[in-house]
Amino acid sequence: MKFFVDTADVSEISAMAQTGLLDGVTTNPSLIAKSGRKMAEVIAEICALTTGPVSAEVTATDYETMLAEGRYLRGIATNVCVKVPLTEAGLRTCRALADDGTLVNVTLCFSAVQALLAAKAGAAFISPFVGRLDDIGQDGMTLIADIVQIYRNYGFATEILVASGRHPVHVLAAAKLGAHVATMAPSTIRALFKHPLTERGLEAFLADWKKTGQSIL
């Protein structure tokens, strides 16, 4: 499974990249707004920190302007992945950009039939939002299972990018189902490292080693 970090904070992305576990980055207008910087500058800086895809989202809602924004965004760096919403205009834009060889991430997916449409439109990634479904009492991972099955049935190349994951259990469930990517906030990625027994075991090992009075170096 690929790990993408969901942030526009360049310092966080740099720190995650240094772990060697980062495969890409996702951003959205809300995250860019939090940075307080111009979108093009932020995206260019992020693209220099990773060779993986960096999702940069259009802000228009009509086809013509979406397409123009998408073409502008893809010109920022070779690893830009244009993100479009799962609307009729968004899917039309997806098809046009994909036909030109642009990677497209179709976002705000909340149903399996929406995911089917995105794959047919040539999306490189589909972003189902599992956490937001959980928030309204639906099971986000059921959606992932449905999309996995449909894509396997027809051999679609679109990668399932699990978005809005809130905790390690979401990541585990998505990996077991065969999703290709999980995008997470930096805090969620850091939570994957932690287990109380790991911390307890390390403390015991270090305490025993200290008693020997030795040093490896």
Distance CA 100, CA 168 (A): 37
SS3 category, 52:
coil
Distance CA 156, CA 125 (A): 11
DSSP string, 173-192: HHHHHT-SEEEE-HHHHHHH
Residue entry with tokens 């997916």:
109
Judge whether 38 counts as a catalytic residue.
no
Q: What is the CA radius of gyration of the chain?
A: 19
Nearest to 108 by CA among 134, 74, 133, 79: 133
Instruction: Identify the active-site residue in 38, 83, 176, 210.
Output: 83
Instruction: Indicate if the alpha-carbon torsion angle 25, 29, 35, 41 is positive or negative.
Output: positive
* Buried/exposed code over 72-83 (b: 16+ C-beta within 10 A; e: otherwise): ebbebbebbbbb
Residues 123 and 158: beta-carbon distance below 8 Å: yes
Residues with a catalytic annotation lie at 83
